[in-house]
């Protein structure tokens, strides 16, 4: 039997407030099909910082809308275990109305595998295979005050400070997701993101970094790497696909994320990179992604 949720009921299910509410309506059509709807307004906070002169809904927030739709109806305390075969096909723009659809294709033990897609009147915008799990991740959080002088601390000899990052990419608050670049090692970048208790997602009621946002953090690190190369001066990077992203545990305020992405040089306008996100020596997530370089 169909089950329908208005936005206030969705908030109770998802536990998330503005600006991270990404569904206005949700429906369980049957046991294997879910649908959600989002009115995309020009005053959404993320438009301020995501390509400000040409506002675009971040593709990763379409993935977050999928996660929120799953939270509305899938049983248990679920979290994202894996994204794969993610493709961002069309831009979602201010004024669009977005349909989010999930088809459950397999349930086995703690895992639920789904096909998901987001669409507007212009057609298919994104698609993904998403695996949810009810298994808890490894414990997260600070146990002691961390040392300030770690290997990748923000000292005078870092490779790129925040101002230099801002000079390469159009991302701005509240959607600039790396704080600085600690080091370049050949074709690899090591970037840093400090997770604060003042993050917008924390203020919205989430006590962890959403898995979708980890993908954005990795993508911005990769873009900073490629756009720092002289031959790519003045270009823009667009997030195109996630081949696979696996999440071992959640990251919480107070932790520092180290993002290591290797992006081999290529003459193609499409770049591929892979690597991982860690907290200290602990690997939190592994990612393989693709983006396109275009003239600004």
Predicted pLDDT of residue 267: 76
Predicted pLDDT of residue 64: 98
Helix %, strand %, coil % for the chain, to 5?
A: 20, 40, 40
175 in the same domain as 102: no
120 in the same domain as 21: yes
Consecutive H or E run containing 9: helix 7-14
In a domain, 100, yes or no: yes
In a domain, 264, yes or no: yes
129 in the same domain as 48: yes
Give percent of the chain with pLDDT exceeding 90. Answer: 79
Predicted pLDDT of residue 108: 95
Which of 87, 113, 133 delimits the end of a domain?
133
- Measured from the Cβ of residue 257, the count of other Cβ atoms closer than 10 Å reads 23
Contact status, residue 57 vs residue 216, Cβ threshold 8 Å: no
pLDDT tens, 214-254? Answer: 999 999 999 999 889 888 888 888 899 999 999 999 999 99
> Where in the sequence numbering do the catalytic residues fall?
50, 56, 59-60, 64
End-to-end CA distance of the chain: 50
CATH code (residue 269): 3.10.129.10
- Going by the DSSP 8-state scheme, the letter that residue 250 receives in this structure is -
Residue 75: domain span: 3-133
Which of 80, 114, 133 delimits the end of a domain?
133
Which of 133, 152, 186 delimits the end of a domain?
133
pLDDT tens, 136-168? Answer: 887 888 999 999 998 999 999 999 999 999 999
pTM above 0.75? yes
Count of domains for the chain = 2
Q: Mean pLDDT of all residues in the chain? A: 94
125 in the same domain as 49: yes
Helix axes 59-73, 211-227, angle to 10 degrees: 170
181 in the same domain as 291: yes
In a domain, 194, yes or no: yes
Q: Parallel, antiparallel, or unpaired: how do β-strands 180-185 and 188-194 relate?
A: antiparallel
Predicted pLDDT of residue 271: 81
110 in the same domain as 192: no
In a domain, 270, yes or no: yes
* Over residues 178-197, mean pLDDT: 96
């Amino acid at each position: 039997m169909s089950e329908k949720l208005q936005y206030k009921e969705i908030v109770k299910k998802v536990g998330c407030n503005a600006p991270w509410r990404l569904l206005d309506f949700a429906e369980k059509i049957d046991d294997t099909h879910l649908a959600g709807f989002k009115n995309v307004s020009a005053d959404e906070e993320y438009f301020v910082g995501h390509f400000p002169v040409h506002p675009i809904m971040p593709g990763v927030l379409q993935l977050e809308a999928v996660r929120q739709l799953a939270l509305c109806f899938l049983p248990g305390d679920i979290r994202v275990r894996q994204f794969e075969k993610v493709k961002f096909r069309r831009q979602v723009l201010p004024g669009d109305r977005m349909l989010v659809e999930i088809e459950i294709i397999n349930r086995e033990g703690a895992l639920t595998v789904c096909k998901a897609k987001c669409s507007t009147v212009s057609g298919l915008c994104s698609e993904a295979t998403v695996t949810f799990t009810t298994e808890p991740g490894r414990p997260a959080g600070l146990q002691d005050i961390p040392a300030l002088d770690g290997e990748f601390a923000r000292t005078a000899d870092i490779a790129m400070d925040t101002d230099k990052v801002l000079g390469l990419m159009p991302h701005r608050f509240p959607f600039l997701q790396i704080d600085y670049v600690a080091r370049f090692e050949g074709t690899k970048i090591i970037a840093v993101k400090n997770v604060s208790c003042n993050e917008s997602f924390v203020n919205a009621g989430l006590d962890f970094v959403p898995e979708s946002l980890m993908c954005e953090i990795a993508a911005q690190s990769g873009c900073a790497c490629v756009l720092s190369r002289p031959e790519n001066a003045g270009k823009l990077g667009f997030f195109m696909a996630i081949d696979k992203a696996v999440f071992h545990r959640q990251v919480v305020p107070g932790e520092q994320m180290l993002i290591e992405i290797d992006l081999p040089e290529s003459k193609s306008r499409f770049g591929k990179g892979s690597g991982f996100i860690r907290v200290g020596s602990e690997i939190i997530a592994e990612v393989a992604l693709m983006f396109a370089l275009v003239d600004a």
